[in-house]
Amino acid sequence: MTINESLHSVNGNSIVGPYPDGFEKAIFGMGCFWGAERIFWSLAGVWVTAVGYAGGDIENPSYELVCSGRTGHNEVVQVVFDSKIISYESLLAIFWESHDPTQGMRQGNDRGTQYRSGIYCFDERQRELAEASRRAYQVPLTDAGYGPITTEIVGGAEPVFYFAEGYHQQYLAKNPNGYCGIGGTGVACQVGLFSGPSEQ
């Protein structure tokens, strides 16, 4: 990315960092990353968002390689946030509500391994909360007639995140009429059902 592309098109903060001390990061895959990023960038407590690739097998993948399905990467959004203002649990609820996590290797009309639902955790607490939220959200989804959640949850080590090419960053801010295939199920995710005693 160029210098200009490394600044967020919506709020002007640095996409690549350094980020303010004490801020946390979260990574979510929920279909086309253009729409996923737009969901998070305007939330109070979110410092910056960026789209990129995670969960794959090669270093520094290009968009074309990821779309080929040969790298194993997922299109994801990285969210840098102040947990004193917005909690990881709240971000998880927004994640679950904003796409259909039961569709496997697709999201709406977008099909391929890069469109799978995924949560890529930075520490054990994030992994535990992600797992708990998946279990909790399955109940109302089942009641609403949806099948099993197919979201992959990856933890154990800090995820490897590769920034996508500059033209993908904040794509829907630069192209308001651009395509966005993300849509939720209409099923609410209650934060209190999975936040548990570990919540700070």
Q: Which residues are catalytic?
A: 32
Identify whether the C-beta of residue 117 lies closer than 8 Å to the C-beta of residue 150: yes
Give every CB contact of residue 94 below 8 A, 6+ residues apart in sequence. 39, 40, 43
List C-alpha distances in Å: 6 to 42, 60, 128.
18, 17, 32
User: In whole angstroms, how large is the CA radius of gyration of the chain?
Assistant: 16
Identify whether the C-beta of residue 120 lies closer than 8 Å to the C-beta of residue 109: no
Identify whether the C-beta of residue 51 lies closer than 8 Å to the C-beta of residue 75: yes
Nearest partner of 114 among 154, 185, 65, judged by Cα: 65
Angle at 56 between CA 95 and CA 4, to 5 degrees: 70
DSSP state of 57: S
